[in-house]
Amino acid sequence: MPAFRSGTPRTPRRPRLAAATGTLLTSLALLLTVPGTATATSEEDVPARGTARMGQGVIEHDGRGGPPRDPRVVQTEGVDVSSHQGNVAWGTLWNSGVKWAYAKATEGTYYKNPSFAQQYNGSYAVGMIRGAYHFATPDTTSGAAQANYFVDNGGGWSRDGKTLPGVLDIEWNPYGAQCYGLSRAGMVAWIRDFTTTYRARTGRDAVIYTATSWWKECTGNNAGFGATNPLWVARYNTTVGELPAGWPVQTIWQYTSTGPVVGDHNRFNGALDRVRALANG
Protein backbone atom coordinates (compact mmCIF):
# COMPACT_ATOMS: atom_id res chain seq x y z
CA MET A 1 0.00 0.00 0.00
CA PRO A 2 1.26 3.55 -0.67
CA ALA A 3 2.40 5.48 2.38
CA PHE A 4 1.20 9.01 3.17
CA ARG A 5 2.95 11.41 5.51
CA SER A 6 0.96 12.60 8.43
CA GLY A 7 -0.79 15.87 7.72
CA THR A 8 -0.54 15.58 3.91
CA PRO A 9 -4.01 15.80 2.41
CA ARG A 10 -4.95 13.09 0.00
CA THR A 11 -5.94 14.12 -3.51
CA PRO A 12 -9.28 12.44 -4.24
CA ARG A 13 -9.43 10.25 -7.29
CA ARG A 14 -11.62 11.50 -10.17
CA PRO A 15 -14.79 9.49 -10.63
CA ARG A 16 -13.81 8.50 -14.16
CA LEU A 17 -16.46 5.82 -14.59
CA ALA A 18 -19.25 8.11 -13.35
CA ALA A 19 -18.11 10.93 -15.63
CA ALA A 20 -17.92 8.64 -18.64
CA THR A 21 -21.33 7.21 -17.86
CA GLY A 22 -22.82 10.67 -17.56
CA THR A 23 -21.35 11.72 -20.89
CA LEU A 24 -22.74 8.63 -22.57
CA LEU A 25 -26.21 9.18 -21.15
CA THR A 26 -26.17 12.81 -22.23
CA SER A 27 -25.22 11.81 -25.77
CA LEU A 28 -27.97 9.22 -25.90
CA ALA A 29 -30.52 11.73 -24.66
CA LEU A 30 -29.51 14.19 -27.36
CA LEU A 31 -29.74 11.47 -30.00
CA LEU A 32 -33.23 10.53 -28.95
CA THR A 33 -34.46 14.10 -29.36
CA VAL A 34 -33.47 14.32 -33.04
CA PRO A 35 -36.30 13.09 -35.33
CA GLY A 36 -35.51 10.05 -37.42
CA THR A 37 -31.96 9.39 -36.24
CA ALA A 38 -32.54 5.81 -35.10
CA THR A 39 -30.62 3.28 -37.17
CA ALA A 40 -30.17 -0.48 -37.26
CA THR A 41 -28.16 -1.75 -34.30
CA SER A 42 -25.58 -3.65 -36.34
CA GLU A 43 -24.55 -4.33 -39.89
CA GLU A 44 -26.34 -7.68 -39.73
CA ASP A 45 -29.66 -5.86 -39.17
CA VAL A 46 -29.38 -3.79 -42.36
CA PRO A 47 -31.01 -5.49 -45.38
CA ALA A 48 -29.45 -5.47 -48.83
CA ARG A 49 -30.22 -2.44 -50.97
CA GLY A 50 -33.19 -3.09 -53.23
CA THR A 51 -34.97 -5.49 -50.88
CA ALA A 52 -37.20 -2.89 -49.21
CA ARG A 53 -40.92 -3.44 -49.65
CA MET A 54 -44.08 -1.54 -48.93
CA GLY A 55 -44.97 -1.60 -45.24
CA GLN A 56 -41.71 -3.20 -44.14
CA GLY A 57 -41.49 -1.07 -40.99
CA VAL A 58 -45.15 -0.88 -40.00
CA ILE A 59 -45.24 -3.62 -37.37
CA GLU A 60 -41.90 -2.62 -35.83
CA HIS A 61 -42.89 1.03 -35.44
CA ASP A 62 -46.70 1.01 -35.15
CA GLY A 63 -47.47 -2.52 -34.02
CA ARG A 64 -50.33 -4.71 -35.17
CA GLY A 65 -53.88 -5.03 -33.85
CA GLY A 66 -56.93 -7.03 -34.81
CA PRO A 67 -58.57 -7.41 -38.22
CA PRO A 68 -60.52 -4.48 -39.68
CA ARG A 69 -64.11 -4.01 -38.65
CA ASP A 70 -66.88 -4.14 -41.24
CA PRO A 71 -66.58 -0.93 -43.28
CA ARG A 72 -69.41 1.57 -43.49
CA VAL A 73 -68.87 1.97 -47.22
CA VAL A 74 -68.14 -0.52 -49.98
CA GLN A 75 -64.46 -1.43 -50.16
CA THR A 76 -62.56 -3.13 -53.00
CA GLU A 77 -59.84 -5.61 -52.11
CA GLY A 78 -56.34 -5.26 -53.55
CA VAL A 79 -52.77 -6.42 -52.97
CA ASP A 80 -49.25 -5.03 -53.28
CA VAL A 81 -46.29 -7.17 -54.26
CA SER A 82 -42.53 -6.97 -54.73
CA SER A 83 -39.67 -9.32 -55.56
CA HIS A 84 -40.31 -11.09 -52.23
CA GLN A 85 -43.38 -12.75 -53.78
CA GLY A 86 -41.71 -13.77 -57.05
CA ASN A 87 -44.23 -15.17 -59.51
CA VAL A 88 -47.70 -14.53 -58.11
CA ALA A 89 -50.74 -16.79 -58.49
CA TRP A 90 -52.92 -14.05 -59.97
CA GLY A 91 -55.78 -16.37 -60.90
CA THR A 92 -56.07 -17.54 -57.32
CA LEU A 93 -56.12 -13.97 -56.05
CA TRP A 94 -58.70 -12.93 -58.63
CA ASN A 95 -60.98 -15.82 -57.64
CA SER A 96 -60.62 -14.82 -53.98
CA GLY A 97 -62.02 -11.36 -54.70
CA VAL A 98 -58.87 -9.30 -55.29
CA LYS A 99 -59.60 -6.84 -58.12
CA TRP A 100 -56.58 -4.53 -58.20
CA ALA A 101 -52.84 -4.71 -57.54
CA TYR A 102 -49.69 -2.66 -57.27
CA ALA A 103 -46.23 -4.09 -58.01
CA LYS A 104 -42.92 -2.61 -56.93
CA ALA A 105 -41.07 -1.37 -60.01
CA THR A 106 -38.05 0.46 -58.66
CA GLU A 107 -36.08 1.68 -55.67
CA GLY A 108 -33.81 4.71 -55.59
CA THR A 109 -32.03 4.95 -58.93
CA TYR A 110 -30.23 1.63 -58.52
CA TYR A 111 -32.82 -1.16 -58.43
CA LYS A 112 -35.47 -2.69 -60.69
CA ASN A 113 -37.73 -5.49 -59.48
CA PRO A 114 -36.77 -8.64 -61.43
CA SER A 115 -40.32 -10.02 -60.98
CA PHE A 116 -42.01 -6.84 -62.18
CA ALA A 117 -43.04 -8.08 -65.64
CA GLN A 118 -44.80 -11.19 -64.31
CA GLN A 119 -46.48 -9.24 -61.54
CA TYR A 120 -47.52 -6.16 -63.53
CA ASN A 121 -48.58 -7.98 -66.69
CA GLY A 122 -49.92 -11.06 -64.91
CA SER A 123 -52.34 -9.07 -62.78
CA TYR A 124 -53.54 -7.22 -65.89
CA ALA A 125 -54.00 -10.48 -67.79
CA VAL A 126 -56.50 -11.88 -65.27
CA GLY A 127 -58.57 -8.70 -65.37
CA MET A 128 -57.17 -6.68 -62.49
CA ILE A 129 -56.61 -2.93 -62.55
CA ARG A 130 -52.95 -2.54 -61.73
CA GLY A 131 -50.20 -0.02 -61.13
CA ALA A 132 -46.57 0.32 -60.08
CA TYR A 133 -44.86 1.73 -56.99
CA HIS A 134 -41.45 3.21 -56.23
CA PHE A 135 -39.66 2.74 -52.89
CA ALA A 136 -38.11 6.10 -52.12
CA THR A 137 -34.59 6.52 -50.75
CA PRO A 138 -34.24 10.29 -50.27
CA ASP A 139 -30.67 9.93 -49.01
CA THR A 140 -29.32 8.60 -52.32
CA THR A 141 -30.55 10.89 -55.13
CA SER A 142 -33.02 13.73 -55.70
CA GLY A 143 -36.77 13.34 -55.91
CA ALA A 144 -36.70 14.33 -59.59
CA ALA A 145 -34.02 11.75 -60.41
CA GLN A 146 -36.01 8.99 -58.72
CA ALA A 147 -39.29 10.01 -60.36
CA ASN A 148 -37.64 9.87 -63.79
CA TYR A 149 -36.05 6.50 -63.01
CA PHE A 150 -39.45 5.19 -61.90
CA VAL A 151 -41.27 6.38 -65.03
CA ASP A 152 -38.52 5.02 -67.28
CA ASN A 153 -38.70 1.58 -65.66
CA GLY A 154 -42.37 0.67 -65.38
CA GLY A 155 -43.90 3.52 -63.40
CA GLY A 156 -45.61 5.34 -66.26
CA TRP A 157 -49.32 5.70 -66.87
CA SER A 158 -51.67 5.22 -69.82
CA ARG A 159 -55.36 5.99 -70.17
CA ASP A 160 -56.48 2.41 -70.83
CA GLY A 161 -58.86 2.12 -67.88
CA LYS A 162 -56.73 -0.55 -66.22
CA THR A 163 -53.56 1.33 -65.25
CA LEU A 164 -53.45 3.14 -61.91
CA PRO A 165 -51.22 6.17 -61.32
CA GLY A 166 -47.79 5.46 -59.85
CA VAL A 167 -47.17 5.37 -56.10
CA LEU A 168 -44.45 7.08 -54.09
CA ASP A 169 -43.74 4.71 -51.19
CA ILE A 170 -42.23 7.01 -48.55
CA GLU A 171 -41.77 5.41 -45.15
CA TRP A 172 -39.20 4.21 -42.62
CA ASN A 173 -35.70 3.73 -43.96
CA PRO A 174 -34.68 0.07 -43.58
CA TYR A 175 -31.06 0.95 -44.36
CA GLY A 176 -30.31 3.69 -41.82
CA ALA A 177 -31.72 6.86 -40.23
CA GLN A 178 -35.51 6.68 -40.32
CA CYS A 179 -35.93 10.11 -41.95
CA TYR A 180 -32.99 9.48 -44.29
CA GLY A 181 -30.91 12.20 -42.66
CA LEU A 182 -33.19 14.98 -43.92
CA SER A 183 -34.79 17.76 -41.93
CA ARG A 184 -38.55 17.99 -42.03
CA ALA A 185 -38.38 20.86 -44.50
CA GLY A 186 -35.86 18.91 -46.55
CA MET A 187 -38.12 15.87 -46.66
CA VAL A 188 -41.13 17.92 -47.79
CA ALA A 189 -39.00 19.47 -50.52
CA TRP A 190 -37.79 16.03 -51.64
CA ILE A 191 -41.35 14.67 -51.85
CA ARG A 192 -42.43 17.78 -53.77
CA ASP A 193 -39.54 17.29 -56.19
CA PHE A 194 -40.68 13.72 -56.85
CA THR A 195 -44.40 14.44 -57.22
CA THR A 196 -43.89 17.51 -59.42
CA THR A 197 -41.59 15.58 -61.74
CA TYR A 198 -43.92 12.59 -61.86
CA ARG A 199 -46.84 14.79 -62.86
CA ALA A 200 -44.77 16.52 -65.53
CA ARG A 201 -43.79 13.13 -67.01
CA THR A 202 -47.18 11.39 -66.84
CA GLY A 203 -49.92 13.99 -66.43
CA ARG A 204 -51.03 12.28 -63.20
CA ASP A 205 -50.54 13.03 -59.54
CA ALA A 206 -48.72 10.20 -57.80
CA VAL A 207 -50.42 8.36 -54.97
CA ILE A 208 -48.50 8.79 -51.69
CA TYR A 209 -48.10 5.69 -49.53
CA THR A 210 -47.04 6.37 -45.95
CA ALA A 211 -47.86 5.78 -42.29
CA THR A 212 -49.23 8.58 -40.12
CA SER A 213 -46.55 8.22 -37.44
CA TRP A 214 -43.73 8.38 -40.01
CA TRP A 215 -45.34 11.37 -41.75
CA LYS A 216 -45.59 13.23 -38.45
CA GLU A 217 -42.00 12.50 -37.48
CA CYS A 218 -40.31 13.11 -40.80
CA THR A 219 -42.40 15.86 -42.43
CA GLY A 220 -43.71 17.58 -39.29
CA ASN A 221 -47.20 16.41 -40.36
CA ASN A 222 -47.10 18.58 -43.47
CA ALA A 223 -50.56 19.25 -44.92
CA GLY A 224 -49.47 20.33 -48.38
CA PHE A 225 -50.18 17.20 -50.43
CA GLY A 226 -53.75 16.29 -49.55
CA ALA A 227 -55.35 18.48 -52.20
CA THR A 228 -53.50 16.80 -55.08
CA ASN A 229 -52.11 13.38 -54.18
CA PRO A 230 -54.35 10.45 -53.20
CA LEU A 231 -53.40 8.88 -49.85
CA TRP A 232 -52.52 5.24 -49.30
CA VAL A 233 -52.12 4.82 -45.56
CA ALA A 234 -50.60 1.88 -43.68
CA ARG A 235 -52.14 0.74 -40.40
CA TYR A 236 -52.52 -2.86 -39.30
CA ASN A 237 -55.43 -2.53 -36.92
CA THR A 238 -59.21 -2.63 -36.57
CA THR A 239 -59.68 0.90 -37.96
CA VAL A 240 -57.67 3.14 -40.25
CA GLY A 241 -57.07 5.52 -37.35
CA GLU A 242 -55.68 9.04 -37.58
CA LEU A 243 -54.65 10.19 -41.05
CA PRO A 244 -51.75 12.49 -41.92
CA ALA A 245 -52.57 16.19 -42.04
CA GLY A 246 -54.17 17.45 -45.23
CA TRP A 247 -56.08 14.28 -46.09
CA PRO A 248 -59.69 14.13 -44.86
CA VAL A 249 -60.02 10.53 -46.10
CA GLN A 250 -57.76 7.78 -47.40
CA THR A 251 -58.04 6.41 -50.92
CA ILE A 252 -56.40 3.09 -49.96
CA TRP A 253 -55.77 1.43 -46.61
CA GLN A 254 -53.08 -1.25 -46.24
CA TYR A 255 -54.51 -3.17 -43.31
CA THR A 256 -52.39 -6.34 -43.05
CA SER A 257 -49.16 -8.01 -44.10
CA THR A 258 -50.48 -11.52 -43.42
CA GLY A 259 -53.28 -11.95 -45.95
CA PRO A 260 -53.96 -15.09 -47.99
CA VAL A 261 -51.83 -15.96 -51.06
CA VAL A 262 -50.05 -12.57 -50.87
CA GLY A 263 -49.41 -11.06 -47.46
CA ASP A 264 -50.00 -7.36 -48.09
CA HIS A 265 -53.75 -6.74 -48.46
CA ASN A 266 -55.49 -3.43 -48.92
CA ARG A 267 -58.93 -1.89 -49.15
CA PHE A 268 -59.73 0.71 -51.77
CA ASN A 269 -62.16 3.19 -50.26
CA GLY A 270 -65.02 2.62 -52.69
CA ALA A 271 -66.54 0.16 -55.12
CA LEU A 272 -64.76 -1.12 -58.23
CA ASP A 273 -66.07 1.75 -60.33
CA ARG A 274 -64.09 4.14 -58.09
CA VAL A 275 -60.92 2.12 -58.73
CA ARG A 276 -61.59 2.51 -62.46
CA ALA A 277 -62.17 6.23 -61.97
CA LEU A 278 -58.72 6.58 -60.38
CA ALA A 279 -57.23 4.62 -63.28
CA ASN A 280 -58.96 6.84 -65.83
CA GLY A 281 -57.87 10.04 -64.18
How do the residues of the chain divide into helix, strand and coil, expressed in percent and rounded to 5?
30, 15, 55
Catalytic residue among 62, 107, 171, 205: 171
- For the chain, the straight-line distance linking the first and the last C-alpha, in angstroms and rounded, comes to 87
Q: Is 80 a catalytic residue?
A: yes
Residues in CB range of 7: below 8 A, 6 or more apart: none
Query: Dihedral, CA atoms, 93, 95, 99, 103, nearest 10 degrees?
Result: 20
Strand partners, 208: 168, 231
Q: Give the DSSP letter string of 240-266.
A: --PPPTT-SS-SEEEEES--SSSS-EE
Catalytic residue among 62, 80, 107, 205: 80
Q: How far apart are CA 34 and CA 37, in angstroms?
A: 6
Task: Report the relative pairing of strands 252-256 and 100-107 from DSSP bridges.
Answer: unpaired
Catalytic residue among 169, 205, 217, 264: 169
Task: For CA atoms 168, 173, 175, 180, give the dihedral sign.
Answer: positive
Q: Give the DSSP letter string of 43-57.
A: GGGSPPTT---TTTT
Alpha helices in the chain (DSSP H): 16-32, 58-62, 90-95, 116-125, 143-152, 184-202, 212-219, 272-280
Residues forming the active site: 80, 169, 171
